[in-house]
Amino acid sequence: MGQISQVWQDAISDFRVFLKIDKSLSNNTIYAYEHDIKMFSDFLCQDETKTVGIEDLNEKEVRRFLAYLATLDYISEATQARVLSGLKTFCKFLIYNGQINENSLELVEAPKLSRKIPEVLTLEEIDNMEATFDIDNKPDQKRNRCMIELMYSCGLRVSELVNLKKENLFFKQSYIVVKGKGNKERIVPIGTKAQDNVNEYLRDVRSHIQVQAGEEPYIFLNRSGKHLTRIFVYQMIKKAAAAAGVKKTISPHTLRHSFATHLLQGGADLRSIQVMLGHESITTTEIYTHIDVQYLKETIMTYHPRYKIKY
C-alpha cells in the first residue's frame, strides 16, 4: 500500500473543522465527507509507490477513481455522485484555504441518476405495524409504537426523531420544531393521535427511566437512559414490518415517503410538502408527483369502466 502525506492528513483535519464550525454541518454529514475522501485516498494508495498529496486531487485521478467505482456492483450511481460531490467540496475548501489555485474538478460530471420511485406504505400497513406492539406488557413497545406514529405523522428523518428534545414540543399550538440537515429548523404540525402517543410514552414509560447525565433533554431513551441510535430504529421498524406481514422492503425513511405521498394524494400542494419535509429544493420533493401519477393510474384502471379488466 502507498502512503498518505502529512499535508493531506492535515488538510482533511482542517476540512473537518471547517465543516463543523463554518458550515455548521451535522456529525453524520461530516462523517460522510470524510468517508468519501478516504475512499479516494485508499484507491490511490493501491499503488505501493504512491504518496497521496494535495496535487492528486485533480481531474485525471478523480475520473480514474470514478471509473473504478463504476465497476463495483455495490456502489450505486447515487453513491458515485455523492462521492464526487464530496471531493468537489473538498477541492473548493483547498482553494479557500490557499492550498491550490484552481478547481480542476469543475468539468467532471456525475453519472446520470435514474429516479427511483420510493416504496410507500398504505395507512392499513402502518396501522398493522403499530398493532404488533404489546404495549400492555412491554413498556419499551409503547415507545416503539410512538416513534412509528411520529415519523409517519410528521414526516421525520430517523436522525431527526432520535435527536428530538422535549423543548421541541409545542402541543398547545399543535406543532413541533424539527432540527434537520445543516441544523436548519422547521415547524411541522402534529396531529392529536401522535400527540397522545407521545404524552402516553412520556407519562407511562420515560418518567420511570433513570436518565443518564446529559441525556435529559432527549425524548426517546433506551433502558439505560441514553437516547436511541438510528440503527436501533431501523432494526425496530424492520421487525415491526415483518410481524405485520408487510412484504415491501422498507426502512425508517419509508414512513417519511408515506407521509409525503398521502399528503399529495389528499390534495396538499407540493410547496407545503416541501416545507414540512425540510427539502431545500422543490425538485427533491417532485419525486412524489411520480408516485401520485402512479396512484391515479391504478385508480382509473380499477374504477373506470373503460379500463376495467374483463375476465
Is 288 among the residues known to form the active site? yes
Dihedrals phi, psi of 251, to nearest 5 degrees: -145, 175
Q: Which of 143, 256, 257, 262 is catalytic?
A: 256
Is 307 among the residues known to form the active site? no
Q: How many CB atoms lie within 10 A of CB 2?
A: 15
| Cα-based distances in Å from 160 to 35, 148, 168 | 22, 13, 11
Is 290 among the residues known to form the active site? no
Q: Which of 157, 206, 257, 262 is catalytic?
A: 157
Dihedrals phi, psi of 52, to nearest 5 degrees: -75, 125
Is 253 among the residues known to form the active site? yes
Domain architecture of the chain: domains with CATH = 3-96 (1.10.150.130), 123-302 (1.10.443.10)
Output the tens digit of pLDDT for each of the chain's 311 residues.
778 889 889 999 999 999 988 888 888 889 999 999 999 988 888 877 788 888 888 888 899 989 998 898 888 888 888 888 899 999 999 998 888 888 878 878 877 766 666 789 999 999 999 999 999 989 899 999 999 999 999 999 999 999 999 999 999 999 999 988 877 899 999 999 999 999 999 999 999 999 999 999 999 999 999 999 999 999 999 999 999 999 998 999 999 999 999 998 888 888 888 989 988 888 778 777 776 667 667 766 776 666 655 44
Instruction: Return the amino acid letter for 104.
Output: S
**Single pTM value for the model:** 0.68
